Amino acid sequence: MKAINSFLVVDKIKEKPKAEKGFVLSESQNEDIRFLKGKVISVGDQIKGIKENNIVWYDKNAGHGIEFNGNYFYVIKHGDVVIVE
């Protein structure tokens, strides 16, 4: 699988549940989190500054999910990335 143009294929990194005052919040209760973390699987040919295996933070409403070889990935636009670790 290869991303094209200005798209990235990202594997979402599941965050550990957040604890607040002794209570563990489920993923659905972490609605205040705006950005998600993911590992870059494939980079389009028009993208500079991001490489495969980089960890990126991107808008949680960005992109679309795609199933490939039994794994679920997200295809996002380069502009949706806000941080590269």
CA distance 63 to 77: 7
7-17+33-84: which CATH topology? 10 Kd Chaperonin, Protein Cpn10; Chain O (2.30.33)
pLDDT of residue 30: 55
> Is the predicted pLDDT of residue 23 greater than 80, yes or no?
no
Instruction: Read off φ and ψ for residue 70, nearest 5 degrees.
Output: 80, 0
pLDDT of residue 33: 75
27-83 pLDDT, tens digit each: 555 566 789 999 999 999 999 999 999 999 999 999 999 999 999 999 999 999 999
Domains in the chain: boundaries = 7-17+33-84
pTM: 0.81
Closest CA to 84 of 59, 60, 55, 58: 55
